[in-house]
Amino acid sequence: MTETAFAKINLALHVRGRRADGYRRIETMFAFAEDGDELGVDASDGLSLDVAGPFANRLAGERDNLVLRAARALRARCDVTEGARLALAKRLPVAAGIGGGSADAAAALRLLVRWWKPAAGAAALREIAAGLGADVPACLASRPARGDGRGDELTPLDDSALAGTPLLLVNPGVALPTAEVFAAWDGVDRGPLGDWREGRNDLEPAAVALVPAVADVLGALDGAGIARMSGSGATCFGLYSDDAARDLAAERIRAEHPRWWVLATRLRAG
């Protein structure tokens, strides 16, 4: 039994200020790619996680992976006594602004609900997801939604205009921790999020200051109808009019920047 941890895209991300709890108040538009990491499960008496794939080495030595935290939280909430041997194929770069651990944790919840069949309703799953991280509730649904507050106050959106849109994801091969980017944000509230197409990512300037290659990635996404950074970076996305235009851009970027990570995909239906 397997589950895809769909790559998360922030089509727009407006940072509005700091909350009383220390978190930044954001307004964002979530969407998800058709592709991502892959999580599998097999029978076991205990609870374990094996990690493989092109980015597995980035998680080496990690003692408290979000996948295992999600599994433990679900077991505890629902009094599950069974174990599970989880296997994660890590295909997405780490600390890249496209969900990463949050998407993996959400995939673990969806997968283990199918595997263990616990008596857990949708509300319980959302509560577990919220306790794991601000992006996990959006990744649990993996469908277009507006996110407010920390990004975990979700309003589902009609995905009919987005589903199937050709999408190109590009990362310069540099990890960019979220905390560092938020710390470098200039603190200026540039206004609310309305139509995401006319929006922006307020974290782009901070990310470029920390990793100048982000600007190079954005410049390389020529031909895209919209090109922005996702989340706190360093991954940037381009939305294209058709697959041919997307694939041409992907081919050119791979040739000119062989060390960059490039994924040609589409926005998924909810």
Residue 237: both structure tokens together? 């996305």
Burial level of 102, CB count in 10 A (0-12/13-18/19+)?
buried
**How many H-runs (helices) and E-runs (strands) does the chain carry?**
8, 10
190 neighbors 202 (Cβ within 8 angstroms): yes
The Cα 231–Cα 223 span in angstroms is 22
Distances (CA, A) of 257 to 147, 173, 199, 213: 33, 10, 28, 11
CA distance 228 to 43: 42
Phi, psi of 64 (to 5 degrees): -135, 65
182: closest CA among 13, 46, 3? 13
Residues annotated as catalytic are 8, 135
d(CA 253, CA 182): 28
Preceding peptide of 145 cis, ω within 30° = no
